[in-house]
């Protein structure tokens, strides 16, 4: 696709042009890899946080803490945190 943008007439590209295109694509791939790693780290942190919160909730429920469901004034059920 990048080659089509660089070469709309269908002419043969020089070695320098091909190297330039390859380097550009390689830089894009490296940037995407960094973004993916960063997002993976963020997801891992959230998973740890969620696991800790689940453990805390389970501990509170096992202690006989506040009831999980409390009737709302309008007759519906709301969850208490």
Please give the pLDDT value at position 81: 40
Span 34-70, pLDDT tens digits: 999 999 999 999 999 999 999 999 999 998 755 556 5
* Residue 10 φ/ψ, nearest 5 degrees: 80, 15
Look up the domain containing 34 and give its range.
13-62
User: Would 26 be classed as within a structural domain?
Assistant: yes
| pLDDT greater than 70 at residue 4 | no
pTM of the model: 0.55
| pLDDT greater than 70 at residue 3 | no
The separation between CA 3 and the C-alpha centre of its own chain, rounded to angstroms, equals 30
Mean pLDDT of 75-80: 54
Alpha carbons 18 and 64: distance in angstroms, whole number: 69
User: Would 67 be classed as within a structural domain?
Assistant: no
Mean pLDDT of 4-31: 88
User: Would 51 be classed as within a structural domain?
Assistant: yes
Q: How is 41-78 classified by DSSP, letter by letter?
A: HHHHHHHHHHHHHHHHHHHHHHTT-S-SEEE-TTS-EE
- The number of domains in the chain is 1
């Amino acid at each position: 696709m990048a080659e089509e943008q660089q070469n709309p007439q269908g002419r043969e590209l020089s070695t320098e042009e091909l190297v330039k295109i390859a380097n550009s694509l390689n830089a894009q791939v490296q940037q995407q890899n960094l973004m993916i790693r960063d997002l993976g780290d963020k997801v891992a942190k959230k998973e740890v946080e969620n696991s800790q919160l689940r453990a805390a909730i389970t501990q509170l429920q096992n202690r006989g803490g506040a009831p999980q469901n409390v009737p709302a004034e309008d007759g519906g059920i709301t969850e208490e945190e």
